[in-house]
A and B are shown apart, each in its own frame.
Chain A
């Protein structure tokens, strides 16, 4: 919370950010979206699902630490295990990364990113090869880019929604992808059963939510929890980013995201802090750099619109011209970046900053001993929560 305190030359205030405590009464929908509005049972099921994910994560890490003599789990469920002490300022535990996949980024001086490889077409039943928790789809017509859809909504959230509110899923598809989407397209075996999350509208024809196997909320939480495990090798604690992820195996060392998340969390754990992820849990777009985008010499950054959530918790965005400009025959291909026409959605994706909002206690009271073992934390599942969400939980555990 910002509190105005005084005035600095030439007349701007300095502002105080008051410290906060990460204790929540419930987990809310990603980006505080209103998909559950008026549906308290669904909201409860979502809270249960998230608690189950946190529970699985803390149970697994606790068991792993116990087995290897690593001490107490420093990751916690902020709803069921909320801590009384304040947290570090939110900016300190914010973890950013670039949305364009590192594996397609340029490696040698002068080499352009592999935009073609990053956004090649995918068929129904297959996932996009975009693994930074941001995926995009380029809508083309007659060889021109009409719009670019960006999403960072995890597929396990949509699996949950599909199991609870299939009509809502259809509504979202019809709103953001096409009015032509039918229930049968999404649920080949009948509404509410067997949501086909790699359906054609989410692959060949659009991007409703993330498709890459790694791009899910369970993975986000489990990665963060696993990264609280301190590791050592050859008598020294591992503190470097890549050696850490290679030893801990909590993600893919070849990405922007996973190594950065793991290293940041592990650093907080090494400080002796308790760590968690802020509610609402999600992988979000925090900003878009539109400087240098022009259309007919005018600023074209405003054509990037967040349509679900809001910065810094944006879930979905689209880059497209206004209907008036489209009526004039203009397309996104007429937009220029540094004076040259836009050719790829990836040119916009690399201007999107992604982030997760970590939380960590001010206190530094927990001093675990680094374990000398390398390897991933095996999943240990706690008892199932409410019956109503069991189906969704099974879906999310891939």
Chain B
């Protein structure tokens, strides 16, 4: 063992040939097809799984490619042309595992939400009214009675390569009769006009936790590159500025997870061996009302600008206030009045801010960091700049306490997001006019991985985004919050004691389908689920 290492860096070796690649490394592709499948005939389903299994992309493969891609981009100054990869991952619902093996085995995946399935949890999440007559019947996929058994993910840098492989893997004439049937299929693409941005126009996926663990030993290769020196005793460790290190057990079964009091490692609970190296996948097909959101921002900003509290409010600033970031991804805590895209381009600053306290200047290891770093960001404990109800503050309160605990507890709520937009962008009309809805559906394929849907994704949605009180008082998350009340609101507080409450009776993000799945290890797929 290297004597120079600190205890902070003594980490587990990830079984990178076992863990599916999208979980910890992320495909990060411009094109992604989701294929929902239903199992009919079991032998045919197993035969199809056996055919698909060799295509499943591992953490090792995806991480190596991502590293190569980044290295080439760093050298070239732009995305490398011709360097493409096409990846495949697979996940199973409770029903899917139960059909392939048994209900008892499906029940070994330790999460009540997974066992229930998304339709049963939809009312708790605010996706449908509690006790409503229609329930999830209107969803395009995944509603009650239509829960897919399998979700196949095919992603590529090249849309034609993706389509080719997706077609090849789709059960068809080459498979045994009774092979899984396609229940639903949809392509997601990054926006060609604004790559990396969702349809409201905001950069997506900026903040992700850095997962601890080694891809290889001797030499040690960390999954998350460690640019920073270990912190002071008792403080959270970061891999890069703003990316806290989280133990892999929060995202993959069989590894140490985070102690919710001090961030130290907690040994994994005993699990059946087939669950090890697996992860829980949440998929939500979120439709976005882009024109409605733009209209709301414009009207509400005008009303706020007519007050003495927010005389300089603009639709762009209100949008950034409600999201917590400007469209470029620049955090509003680093640019309060207007967007500064240069900050978004600076990996050292775009994510480096806290809420309860001022951030501290990062201490880089030799060879990392820039010569002229931006000053540390000021904290905003009272939410005067970034309201407590701002989307990014709601779902990740960072160093600010929540109703569930302090910053170390919040680390146990983190998820790994792997979303991609679907549908074409809504064209912006010339001259700053409000866009009109064109009747074309668009939105986000929201995907995230974790080891507890109950304590991670569902807590973020139900306890925080849907609540006016949690994690701190100040209103709903107006982006994804769905409290089940006719009106949603955000309080914009001022440092002189007044505040303005912005309200809406419209929902700008609508749930239209999804599911809860288990993404098994590659050997569990091959040697357990695909065999009788």
Residues of A within 8 A of B (CB): 2, 5-10, 12-20, 86-89, 91-92, 94, 96-98, 102, 105-112, 239-243, 253-254, 256, 259-260, 263-264, 267, 271, 286-287, 289-294, 297-301, 312, 337-340, 353, 355, 362
Contact = CB atoms under 8 A, between A and B. Distances in A.
Contacts of A289: 462-463, 466-467
B497 A362 contact: yes
A293 B130 contact: yes
Given A16-B307, A94-B472, A97-B403, A242 B262 contact: yes
B472 A96 contact: yes
B424 interface: no
Contacts of B498: 16-19, 89
A287 B261 contact: no
Interface string B401-433: 111111110000000000000000000000000
A9 B299 CA distance: 5
Contacts of A12: 487, 503-505
Contact of A338 (B124, B250, B356, B383): B124
A14 B502 contact: yes
14 contacts: A8-B300, A8-B503, A14-B303, A14-B501, A17-B499, A17-B500, A88-B497, A96-B472, A102-B405, A110-B110, A239-B356, A291-B484, A299-B129, A337-B124
Contacts of A7: 299, 303
Given A6-B306, A242-B234, A362-B496, 20 more contacts: A2-B501, A5-B307, A6-B307, A9-B295, A12-B487, A15-B501, A88-B493, A89-B494, A94-B472, A96-B472, A109-B253, A109-B269, A110-B110, A239-B356, A241-B406, A242-B406, A259-B406, A260-B402, A294-B123, A338-B124
Contacts of A256: 403-405
B338 interface: no
A108 B124 contact: no
What does DSSP make chain A's interface, helix, strand, loop or mixed?
Answer: mixed
A243 B451 contact: no
Contacts of A97: 403-404
A353 B404 CA distance: 10
Q: Binding site of B, secondary structure by majority: helix, strand, loop or mixed?
A: loop
A92 B125 CA distance: 26
Contacts of B299: 7-10
B416 to A, nearest CB: 14
B298 interface: yes
Nearest to A6: B303
Contacts of A241: 401, 406-407
Given A8-B303, A91-B499, A353-B470, A263 B309 contact: no
B382 A92 contact: yes
B503 A298 contact: no
Contacts of A13: 503
A89 B497 contact: yes
- Sort A-B residue pairs by CB-CB distance and give the 6 closest, nearest first: A110-B110, A19-B497, A9-B299, A292-B124, A299-B131, A109-B451
B500 A8 contact: no
B403 A338 contact: no
A394 B475 CA distance: 41
B116 A340 contact: yes
A209 to B, nearest CB: 23
Contacts of A299: 129-131
Contacts of A355: 469, 473
B98 to A, nearest CB: 16
B249 interface: yes
A312 B302 CA distance: 31
A260 B356 CA distance: 12
Nearest to A354: B403
A144 B216 CA distance: 55
Contacts of A253: 261
Given A86-B496, A240-B406, A242-B262, A263 B505 contact: no
B266 interface: yes
A342 B211 CA distance: 36
Nearest to B488: A12
Given A291-B462, A294-B131, A96 B504 contact: no
B493 A92 contact: yes
